Structure 1
Amino acid sequence: MHEYKTLLWEQADGIATITLNRPDAANSLNLEMAHELMLAAMRCDEDKDIRAVIITGTGKMFCAGGDVMSFQDAGDNVAILLKEITAYLHSANARFARMSAPLIIAVNGTAAGAGFSLAISGDLVLASDKAKFTMAYTGIGASPDGSSTHFLPRLVGLRRAQELMFTNRVLSADEALEWGMLTKVVSADELLTEAQALARKMADGPSLAHGEIKSLLLSSSSNTLETQLELESRGIAKCVSSEQGKEGLKAFKEKRKPDFNRG
């Protein structure tokens, strides 16, 4: 098993918790962290015992974005470095989006640049009331990465996405919630407890149905109505005929809470 140097990994009772762990560098994303995020995402995607995933950060920052000092140090090779970093980061983004387990992001502090992109990519996003959000990319003459050009317009609309990307407007947690970027804002000292409770609810739920929901939502804006209807039909049929579906139907009939861990 990979020994992480830039992340903390915990796994227990169906929940994996990934903590960005470069507090002395504001949890900024360098080549090593991007690679380790990819490996962690692959692990979450392949391990059937993982039924919910939490991503959070150590210290007062969630993630300040890319490690700009490493970009500067790369000199004339910076384009190669950025292509390598994004190859790993985008592989992680894709696997987190397509794995069956719901991804819960617990934004413990400022999320900027790639940290902003990662923060909004979750299926459920909780934020500390002290969190702030800014795209920040154009501040160093860069365009966005990390999936934000896909997710952000879908969450807040094109006009607001343009404003955030072009002007680097800083949003408070409450503003981000109002704009539709977050699921819930909680007090800083309750953030991880809330995230763990939500992860527990997801881990105890129907993992096959969760995976189908993620897949259907990811494809909904690019499919025709008829294609999406066919995917919905096939998805619900697969879910209900599975062991988890059979348990759900049986529990409904018997007027009890279903135990989806059986399936």
Structure 2
Amino acid sequence: MTYTTIRCDHDDGLATITLNQPEKLNAVSRRMISELKECWEALATDTRVRAVLLTGAGRGFCAGADLSDPDRAQGATADSGAALEHFFNPVIRTMRALPKPIVAAVNGVAAGVGMSFVTASDIAIAGRSASFLQAFARIGLLPDGGSTWFLPRLVGDARARAMAMLAQQIPADKALAWGLIWDVVDDAALMETATALARRLANGPLALASIKKALNVAHGNDLSAQLDVERDLQRELGRSEDFKEGVAAFLAKRPAQFKGR
């Protein structure tokens, strides 16, 4: 597929999505979110792809919504929820439900919906100069893109409320300490580190999809219900070729060669 605001590259089981409007710090226009929606939906059913790496071109990951976008709804009668319903929310839902791990490589600022893309990913690695910002209150809006759901679960209620209401920029080291992201590395090592991790996941077992599925429903389940989820998913995995290969590799003391099936 051909895109104008993003790039989507495929290489040996790994898809890399790059937000590609560096002159605007990859601010999300209506065109970009439409292309992202199309791209994520295509990746969901692409059997060649077993993991996804998400990053931004240039010196920023994503500065949030593009407020200068001429296609943006404006005025007192504008429906700000319509764009969420038709474009942004489907992207977040598809990312979270994607049966493949998503690694976010955060370079520079991740603000507004850009931060939502990070929290919707499975593993986030940031460069040391990266920062995170819930910018919505600065323009009279509330956090969206699932931020009011993700943030309390990642950093706790008190920090989530302060981030949302104060709209203060959080540096990468603090984001790591708070549990917002998985790791921080030197800027120069970010893409190499994130790509190696994403490629490792792309070579991982079918179980990664089930791990993601189980964790996605865990917050809404009590222990008994979650035990049932684990039972059902484990039953399926126990019949998989990857499980047979994993056991054989373990007994032979060799690395497993998973096929994702």
1:178-203 CA distances to partner (integer Å, 9 max, x unpaired)? 00011110111111100110011101
Select the structure that is richer in helix: 1
- Structure 1 stretches of at least 4 aligned residues deviating more than 6 Å after TM superposition: none
Preserved CA contact (<8 Å) 1:107 1:125: yes
- Aligned match of 1:49: 48
Q: Which residue of 2 aligns with 1:200?
A: 199
Percent of pairs with identical residues? 37
149-158 vs 71-80, which moves further:
71-80
Residue aligned with 1:226, SS = helix
Equivalences for residues 84-99 of structure 1 within 5 A? 84-99=83-98
SS of residue paired to 1:104: strand
The aligned length equals 261
Paired residue for 1:247?
245
1:227 paired to 2:225: yes
TM-score between the two structures when normalised by the length of structure 1: 0.94
Which residue does 1:184 correspond to in 2? 183
**Which secondary structure does the structure 2 equivalent of 1:93 belong to?**
helix
Query: Does the 8 Å contact 2:60/2:109 carry over to 1?
Result: yes
Residue 59, structure 1, aligned to residue 76, structure 2 = no
Question: 1:76 deviation in Å?
Answer: 2.9
* Aligned ranges 1:1-263 → 2 under 5 Å: 2-70=1-69, 74-76=73-75, 79-80=78-79, 82-206=81-205, 208-261=206-259, 263=261
Deviations 1:25-82 (A, max 9, x none): 2211111111111111112210111111010001111111011123796333873365
If the length of structure 2 is used for normalisation, what is the TM-score?
Answer: 0.95
Question: d(CA) in 2 for partners of 1:10 and 1:85?
Answer: 26
Are residues 87 and 151 of structure 1, via their aligned partners in 2, closer, same or farther at CA, if it must alter by over 3 Å?
A: same
Structure 1 residues 143-185: Cα deviation after superposition (integer angstroms, max 9, x where no partner): 1111111111100011100000000121110000000011110
Give the SS at the match of 2:61: strand
Of the structure 1 ranges 224-233 and 173-182, higher mean CA displacement relative to structure 2 is found in: 224-233
Which deviates further from its counterpart, 22-31 or 247-256?
247-256
Listed as ranges, the gaps of 5+ residues in structure 2 are none
Show structure 1 runs of 5+ residues with no match: none
Root mean square deviation of aligned Cα:
1.7
Question: Residue 262 and residue 173 in structure 1: after superposition, are their counterparts in 2 closer, same or farther (change >3 A)?
Answer: closer
What letter is aligned with 1:94? R
